[in-house]
Amino acid sequence: MQNGNTKNGGDYVYLALRDAPYLKDEAAKWFHEKWGVPEEAYAECIEEYLSGKTEYGWYLCLYKGVIAGGLGIIENDFHDRKDLAPNVCAVYTEEAHRGKGVAGRLLGVAVEDMRSKNISPLYLVTDHTGFYERYGWEFFCAVQCDGEDTPSRMYIHR
């Protein structure tokens, strides 16, 4: 995030993983446990971000030092519209922290960080309706995700 600062929200701390690289292994494991994508895939994407090979970031919300939520930004989130990039991916909030604005704040932190690097718009694939609109996302189109029978919703944040 800008100037290496974290964002504080009471007991919640929002940060870009570059501001806490010591959490990289824990973050890769946490994302793997939530989404089932191989831990090595997360570790590789996180390392590319930490090493500066990409500006597409990884963001965490910590509650009293423990990961309460997170998301990443990658080139493509396993869908057929390769022209719609980059994509927010792996948005997750631990059940105990849902309904407290964690995901919305993480989305805001990521959008702000990407804008500071002149990376806009961002895209996001989801089957949720109504949630992302609260945070400035708009339905953009349907996309076909790898291995899925029915199309998913693609959102854009401009």
Compute the average pLDDT of residues 56-61.
Answer: 98
Compute the average pLDDT of residues 26-38.
Answer: 97
Copy the structure tokens of residue 52.
């500066």
- Residue 63 contacts by C-beta under 8 Å, 6 or more apart in sequence? 11, 12, 13, 97
End-to-end CA distance of the chain: 19
| Per-residue pLDDT tens digits for 107-146 | 999 999 999 999 999 999 999 999 999 999 999 999 999 9
User: For residue 9, what pLDDT is reported?
Assistant: 61
* Spatial CA neighbour of 143 closest among 156, 158, 130: 156
Q: Class of 2-120 per CATH? A: alpha beta
Longest dimension (CA), the chain: 44
Q: Where are the domains of the chain?
A: 2-120
User: For residue 3, what pLDDT is reported?
Assistant: 36
* 32 pLDDT more than 90: yes
Task: Quote the mean pLDDT of the chain.
Answer: 93
| Per-residue pLDDT tens digits for 79-99 | 999 999 999 999 999 999 999
- Band (10; pLDDT cuts 50, 70, 90): confident
Copy the structure tokens of residue 21.
């690289």
> Which DSSP state fits 141?
E
Tokens 């824990």 map to which residue? 26
Answer whether the bond into residue 21 is a cis peptide, omega within 30°.
Answer: no
Q: What's the whole-model pTM score? A: 0.91
